[in-house]
Chains A and B, each alone.
Chain A
């Protein structure tokens, strides 16, 4: 007999633990910075202390406005943005790996990142300004969606979209956009530096505005992908097998693609291309909690948020007062941990 109650309790415990970890990482990150409490740069008496952070968070007024601004306008939005983008990228990664049944799948596998990179580079190079809005973001988002639209329609054959076609079309269109990005970089002149920085991805220009822009879409997308856990599980057994238990494989594929694309596109357009997170965190969580998407998606989502918050904190504090792109940190710290798990669990044979 299979004891599904016992498993449910285990799953709740996992989620509870990961949630606690996330809350801990948020507070840890709030405390780190030049102005302290953890960090070097200013004399001790000018530092913000732990109690003060807590008071500022719950809205007590009697503190220097510079302190309030550091906590509420600089650190907090950046942490929240890192959290939601980590969660979004990792959820999209889980969904793509499940859908394609392929360990190489990541949120960027269908060329979304290259499309976004082209849009962003174009906006930066031309110095585009549409309606005074952030044109880099808008173009990045639009070209990411355009990429998927083109890929999907190339891959379509007789009303069905075979996953192998999708992968190949994605790689092809991705290369096409990458070539265009290279071309823009080649002729860019002094905008080159801005383009390169955008391509590396980072959260240094986080703001409340960006948090508001990202949150609704990302939360909706993550939630819908979570609702498709059962379908994703069944799709793991193969498309014919999924159809035989009543799954409309094509429609399911479409929904999963649409929402993974949306949350990836919004993330990339806000922060640039942060690699590694969406590829490796789902693998790490699959090794830790198993392949069942009902637990894999929520736990990966929490872990992704925690991971990006912590790595971004490192990125902004390791060479204070300057910072390094978070993508470098995610890989430098994530890869050794992943290799350790891979060797210890010896579960590569899943694929």
Chain B
């Protein structure tokens, strides 16, 4: 099933500070990376797309405006992995992942065997099934990140939004997690992720959105967007771009 996301003239401001201004783009079943400097509106865009922030303009998912859906309807279409939430209560990993089933449950409806199976599958998919009995407060940053990804997968969303999914991970876990996320594209899930690391974005994404001061500065495939001129214009640093020997994707090198 193809998921078509249409973002039209989306604007958002925090009080008098404009965070997003007339952002428009369309995506379809691909891995999209959002890059841009701090404060350029990446997280705000993600939160608007998840309906957590109510934006002006419209965000259509297969023609449905998410600003008109209720939270459960949104959450059964869109899973969002926020920057690591600070959970200070010793709930078990299994319970946290199982929370992902909430959008599919009516009020007071009990969790059934199928939900438990889906939660277990989600944990397996990110390789944390051995952590099921552990409490969330005992986990490392990387493990916690995977738990939250598993929770989003348990929602069985058509779209997965990730806010810096690799921020707390070492190189090994970065590649592992992103490969796993990339694998979801083949299962019909559209993935949109915020990146700080340009090379990771370049290596994994099909499409890049470069944000600057709340506006789209450039959008397109990695070779079109990650260029020395664009990087200089937005980040204000001079870089060299080399080519990855195998994937032919751009690699950003700092002089």
Hey, which bits of chain A sit against chain B, CB under 8 A? 1-2, 4, 101, 227, 230, 233-234, 236-238, 240-241, 243-248, 290-292, 347, 349-351
Contact = CB atoms under 8 A, between A and B. Distances in A.
Contacts of A247: 71, 102
A220 to B, nearest CB: 15
Contacts of A236: 87, 89, 91
Interface in B80-134: 80, 82, 85-96, 99-100, 102-103, 108, 116, 120, 129, 132-133
A349 B137 CA distance: 9
Given A230-B102, A238-B86, A238-B87, A244 B80 contact: yes
Contacts of B79: 244
Contacts of A291: 89-91
Given A236-B89, A238-B85, A1 B137 contact: no
B48 to A, nearest CB: 13
B99 A2 contact: no
B50 interface: yes
Interface in B186-214: none
Interface residues of B, number: 40
Contacts of B88: 101, 349-351
20 contacts: A1-B120, A1-B129, A2-B92, A227-B108, A233-B99, A238-B82, A240-B47, A240-B85, A241-B85, A243-B71, A243-B75, A244-B80, A244-B82, A246-B72, A247-B71, A291-B89, A292-B95, A349-B137, A350-B88, A350-B90
A243 B54 CA distance: 13
Nearest to B134: A2
A350 B137 CA distance: 8
A240 to B, nearest CB: 5
A237 B90 contact: no
A351 B100 CA distance: 24
Given A227-B108, A233-B95, A246 B87 contact: no
B83 to A, nearest CB: 9
A246 B103 contact: yes
A349 B151 CA distance: 24
A245 B86 contact: no
A349 B74 CA distance: 34
Nearest to A290: B90
Contact of A245 (B87, B93, B108, B155): B155
Contact of B102 (A246, A349, A351): A246
Contacts of A241: 82, 85, 87, 148
Contacts of A290: 90-91
A1 B102 contact: no
B75 A246 contact: yes
B76 interface: yes
A349 B96 CA distance: 19
A233 to B, nearest CB: 7
A265 B135 CA distance: 36
A294 B137 CA distance: 19
B26 interface: no
Contacts of A4: 94, 116
B246 interface: no
A121 to B, nearest CB: 38
B52 A246 contact: no
A246 B72 CA distance: 4
A234 B99 contact: yes
B196 to A, nearest CB: 20
Given A1-B132, A245-B151, A246-B75, A237 B94 contact: no
A249 B9 CA distance: 27
A187 to B, nearest CB: 46
Nearest to B109: A230
B87 A237 contact: yes
A240 B82 contact: yes
A2 B74 CA distance: 28
A347 B135 CA distance: 13
Nearest to B135: A290
B103 A245 contact: yes
A243 B48 CA distance: 12
Contact of B91 (A1, A233, A349): A233
B7 to A, nearest CB: 18
Given A236-B87, A236-B89, A291-B91, A245 B102 contact: yes
| B79, B96, B99, B152: residue with the most chain A Cβ atoms closer than 10 Å | B99
Contacts of A349: 88, 137
Interface centre among B51, B85, B103, B120 (most CB of A within 10 A): B85
B86 to A, nearest CB: 7
A48 B52 CA distance: 65
A166 to B, nearest CB: 19
Question: Residue among A244, A248, A292 with the most chain B CB within 10 A?
Answer: A244
A253 B169 CA distance: 34
Nearest to B86: A238
A244 B91 contact: no
A123 B82 CA distance: 51
Nearest to A98: B89
B173 to A, nearest CB: 21
B75 A244 contact: yes
